Amino acid sequence: MENRIFNFGAGPCTLPLPVLQQAQAELLCLPGTGMSVLEISHRNKKYIEIYESAIRNLRTLLNIPSNYQVLFLQGGATLQFTMVAQNFLRGTGKSAGYFNTGSWGTAAIKEAKKEGPVVTVWNGKESNFNRIPKANEWQMDENFAYLHFTSNETIGGVEWQTEPSAGDVPLVCDSSSDFMARPIDVSKYALIYAGAQKNAAPAGVTIVIIRDDMLAKVPENLPVMLDYKIQADKESAYNTPPVFQIYMFNLVTQWLLNEIGGLSNMYAINQQKANLLYSAIDQSGGFYEGHATSDSRSIMNVTWRMPSEELQDLFAKEAKANGMAELKGHRSVGGMRASIYNAMTVAGCQTLADFMRDFQRRHG
Amino acid sequence: MENRIFNFGAGPCTLPLPVLQQAQAELLCLPGTGMSVLEISHRNKKYIEIYESAIRNLRTLLNIPSNYQVLFLQGGATLQFTMVAQNFLRGTGKSAGYFNTGSWGTAAIKEAKKEGPVVTVWNGKESNFNRIPKANEWQMDENFAYLHFTSNETIGGVEWQTEPSAGDVPLVCDSSSDFMARPIDVSKYALIYAGAQKNAAPAGVTIVIIRDDMLAKVPENLPVMLDYKIQADKESAYNTPPVFQIYMFNLVTQWLLNEIGGLSNMYAINQQKANLLYSAIDQSGGFYEGHATSDSRSIMNVTWRMPSEELQDLFAKEAKANGMAELKGHRSVGGMRASIYNAMTVAGCQTLADFMRDFQRRHG
């Protein structure tokens, strides 16, 4: 067994070590079944136990009211871009409001426009997607079919500190990259979706939290796999769900509950981790230049630039040699990025912050 | 570690033990990466190696011509029902021809009808889906947008012995439950799709083999996740693919190539396994009554009934106590079913055949 490194990748990304260890220990034989979780039927009662445990844990972690359903779907946030618009925009005669705070907001809008009219209520493109809008910078329209926002932009590294006010309009959130990173008030949302591969599970499942009144709005005759109502009625098993990812999600939620102690604790740890890196940036005298404005900084994805491409390449190379991987920014924007999701440890962030200071001493 | 049992489940189902063992051994640390395959980015060069190896292996196993692309998608065969019809039926002004040979044929037709006109060229419902049509029982129409069939019906246990002749009309196949069970002539097909959770990998990935001329027909402005052309152009990584399932598929194809010796060998083994069970049925004097007619029998799913529900329940219970699980038929049709996919061993089938004879001696 080789040594594991600190993986700062933006997703798929590091998972909690105790979760990986349990999955490994029982990979040939899930206790009580005589088979691997990779081989178990989604109609088997042991799977049903896992599925129900996962939902119960998530309900506890996020304090989800009883008039919301939890779904496990496939296709990532990108298929949700389509599903949200096909279920709740197309054919309504209304427009939907979308915030464009970065690459994912842009992608959500692009897919929604294929289904119906979209109003971009705020666009961060002019400022190179380096911030979240203030409350007085955008206009609500009470006739929107829904209002959509991306709670954290993985590529730019900007994050809503609190959700926008939608009034009586259904609030829809792409929470892929900060899902379960902190407590939220689910009752403010009509629909939350999250690709799992940041904080929740390995890539291959998408978690959806949807309010019952939204399910009642789903139109007739949608493709069955794109129909939230059918997926809810069939408890996410209309066809074969991604059993392994749901099993892993259950283990991750157990870890959050039992080892971390819930999302308030997780949030405090995440703030501590982010502060380690933002302090290294802020104290660098401009050697590390943060991308996000200070009031919009993400606690999940810390992004910065350095004085030259050469220094950035050298930084990534030296970091790798010191056991810290995946620190280059997204290929579409360049720069540097440290993704520090729930499973990244304080020790990992401290190691990186120390390295940043050391690197600056040597090359600054 | 408990003993593993013989798992005759219809999917998710048993996987090759050497594959599970390798996955377990490297679950904390994929060699050369310092991280788990569950944590690795789909942009990492190690993932690209796995992805390219999986495709290379499949091309070798099925002798896929160079004018076909291999895709890894999500959503199972059920999302393919929609994708096939949205990409190649909707808006063409044509009808599509569908064989209805069982539950999956029925489901494919239901989804296709949401997108355009469907002609059911043959319907096995009157005969309780116990057989595949003969060549003179259905009519081809050269104007079909495509001709669709289900190569193996998991629930009824009927299987095409060879594909229907579609002439110049594109032939589309749902091969979910006998994919890679035997050699096929890919050049006869325009599109083959298969949910992985029978012969290919754990649930959560769908393999698509598609001819280049079909990609050229994909209409503009489909939702990105439903667009075969975009998925092909982006090498199945427009968004995050199900990395773990693709890794497992690579291991399964390695096992087929290196331990089994290719699909001709696999087919011989599958025939041997199926013969063990069908012989127990045929030699039972009617105690075990096979569902499929002898010319339509599946080598993947062996289905039969017994003289009473009570005997069937007792059979399943005693079999379970003897290390053979998941032998009840699908809840929609009842009866008994032994699914004997590639990874089920000859020893497993021999054990079941012996048990069937013993059970009959005691209860017949």
ipTM of the complex: 0.97
Residues of chain A in contact with residue B239, where contact means CB-CB under 8 angstroms, are: 76-78, 195
Are residue A299 and residue A265 in the same domain, yes or no?
yes
Range 38-77 of A in CB contact (< 8 A) with B: 38-44, 74-77
Q: Which domain holds residue A325?
A: 6-17+261-363
Tokens linked to A179 = 């899902």
Are residue B225 and residue B359 in the same domain, yes or no?
no
Give yes or no for a contact between A77 and A176, defined as CB atoms under 8 angstroms apart: yes
How far apart CA B162 and CA B269 sit, in angstroms, is: 18
Closest CB from B31, B39, B202 relative to A14: B39
Give A126: exposed, middle or buried? Use CB within 10 Å, 0-12, 13-18, 19+: exposed
Whether residues B12 and A331 touch (CB distance < 8 A) is answered with: no
Angstrom CA distances, B273 to B61, B296, B340, B346, stand at: 21, 16, 7, 5
Chain A interface, best mutation among B21, B26, B36, by max A CB count within 10 A: B36
Are residue B199 and residue B308 in the same domain, yes or no?
no
Range 253-312 of A in CB contact (< 8 A) with B: none
The answer to the question of residue A1 being in a domain is: no
User: ∠A145-A151-A156 over CA atoms, to 5°?
Assistant: 125
Q: Which helix (H) or strand (E) holds B195?
A: strand B191-195
Whether residues A82 and B224 touch (CB distance < 8 A) is answered with: yes
Kindly report, residue by residue over A209-244, the tens digit of the pLDDT. 999 999 999 999 999 999 999 999 999 999 999 999
Q: Does B116 touch chain A (CB under 8 A)?
A: no
Kindly report, residue by residue over A9-37, the tens digit of the pLDDT. 999 999 999 999 999 999 999 999 999 99
pLDDT given for residue B331 in this prediction: 86
Kindly report, residue by residue over A85-105, the tens digit of the pLDDT. 999 999 999 999 999 999 999
pLDDT given for residue B89 in this prediction: 98
The answer to the question of residue B154 being in a domain is: yes
Are residue B154 and residue B197 in the same domain, yes or no?
yes
Dihedral sign computed on CA atoms, order A279, A283, A287, A289: positive
CATH number at residue A254: 3.40.640.10
How far apart CA B246 and CA A290 sit, in angstroms, is: 36
Closest CB from A114, A202, A241 relative to B243: A202
Q: Does B314 touch chain A (CB under 8 A)?
A: no
Dihedral sign computed on CA atoms, order B322, B323, B326, B329: negative
Are residue B64 and residue B98 in the same domain, yes or no?
yes
> Could you say which of A242, A259, A276 is where a domain stops?
A259
Whether residues A35 and B10 touch (CB distance < 8 A) is answered with: no
pLDDT given for residue B1 in this prediction: 47
Kindly report, residue by residue over A178-205, the tens digit of the pLDDT. 999 999 999 999 999 999 999 999 999 9
Strands A206-211 and A191-195: antiparallel
For chain B, the domain total comes to 2
Look up the pTM and report it.
Answer: 0.98
**Number of Cβ within a 10 Å radius of residue A203:** 30
How far apart CA A187 and CA B198 sit, in angstroms, is: 40
Q: Any bridge partners for residue A292, and if so which?
A: none
Tokens linked to A356 = 């940043």
Kindly report, residue by residue over A255-292, the tens digit of the pLDDT. 999 999 999 999 999 999 999 999 999 999 999 999 99
Range 155-214 of B in CB contact (< 8 A) with A: 195, 197, 202-205
Kindly report, residue by residue over A62-82, the tens digit of the pLDDT. 999 999 999 999 999 999 999
Chain A closest-CA separation from residue B17 CA (Å):
8
pLDDT given for residue B109 in this prediction: 98
Question: Is pLDDT of A1 > 60?
Answer: no
Catalytic residue IDs of B: 104, 174, 198
Kindly report, residue by residue over A328-358, the tens digit of the pLDDT. 999 888 999 999 999 999 999 999 999 999 9
Tokens linked to A92 = 């309504």
- Exposure on the CB side of residue A190, measured as CA atoms within 13 A: 23
Are residue B205 and residue B337 in the same domain, yes or no?
no
Alpha helices (H) in chain B, listed in sequence order: 17-25, 45-62, 76-88, 103-113, 212-215, 228-233, 243-255, 263-282, 309-321, 346-363
Whether residues A38 and B75 touch (CB distance < 8 A) is answered with: no
Kindly report, residue by residue over A116-164, the tens digit of the pLDDT. 999 999 999 999 999 999 999 999 999 999 999 999 999 999 999 999 9
- What residue of B is the nearest CA neighbor of A204? B242
The answer to the question of residue B56 being in a domain is: yes
CATH number at residue B286: 3.90.1150.10
Give yes or no for a contact between A157 and A132, defined as CB atoms under 8 angstroms apart: no
Whether residues B240 and A203 touch (CB distance < 8 A) is answered with: yes
Name the catalytic one among A122, A178, A198, A273: A198
Residues of chain B in contact with residue A345, where contact means CB-CB under 8 angstroms, are: none
Are residue B297 and residue B152 in the same domain, yes or no?
no
Q: Does A93 touch chain B (CB under 8 A)?
A: no
Are residue B126 and residue B171 in the same domain, yes or no?
yes
How far apart CA A178 and CA B79 sit, in angstroms, is: 28
> Could you say which of A211, A237, A259 is where a domain stops?
A259
3-state SS assignment for residue A223:
coil
The answer to the question of residue B70 being in a domain is: yes
pLDDT given for residue B2 in this prediction: 58
Are residue B79 and residue B34 in the same domain, yes or no?
yes
The pLDDT tens digits along chain B (364 residues) read: 458 999 999 999 999 999 999 999 999 999 999 999 999 999 999 999 999 999 999 999 999 999 999 999 999 999 999 999 999 999 999 999 999 999 999 999 999 999 999 999 999 999 999 999 999 999 999 999 999 999 999 999 999 999 999 999 999 999 999 999 999 999 999 999 999 999 999 999 999 999 999 999 999 999 999 999 999 999 999 999 999 999 999 999 999 999 999 999 999 999 999 999 999 999 999 999 999 999 999 999 999 999 999 999 999 999 999 999 999 999 888 999 999 999 999 999 999 999 999 999 999 8
Closest CB from A27, A31, A81 relative to B23: A27
Are residue A60 and residue A185 in the same domain, yes or no?
yes
> Could you say which of A259, A284, A307 is where a domain stops?
A259
Whether residues B38 and A238 touch (CB distance < 8 A) is answered with: no
Q: What is the mean pLDDT of residues A52-65?
A: 98
pLDDT given for residue A79 in this prediction: 98
Whether residues B223 and A41 touch (CB distance < 8 A) is answered with: no
The answer to the question of residue B24 being in a domain is: no
> At a CB cut-off of 8 Å and minimum separation 6, what does B212 contact?
B67, B68, B69
Are residue A165 and residue A291 in the same domain, yes or no?
no
Residues of chain A in contact with residue B17, where contact means CB-CB under 8 angstroms, are: 28
Q: Which of A223, A162, A173 is nearest to A195 (CA)?
A: A173
Chain A closest-CA separation from residue B228 CA (Å):
14
Angstrom CA distances, A204 to A43, B204, B234, stand at: 19, 6, 17
Chain A closest-CA separation from residue B137 CA (Å):
31
Closest CB from B32, B38, B114 relative to A202: B38
Are residue A253 and residue A342 in the same domain, yes or no?
no
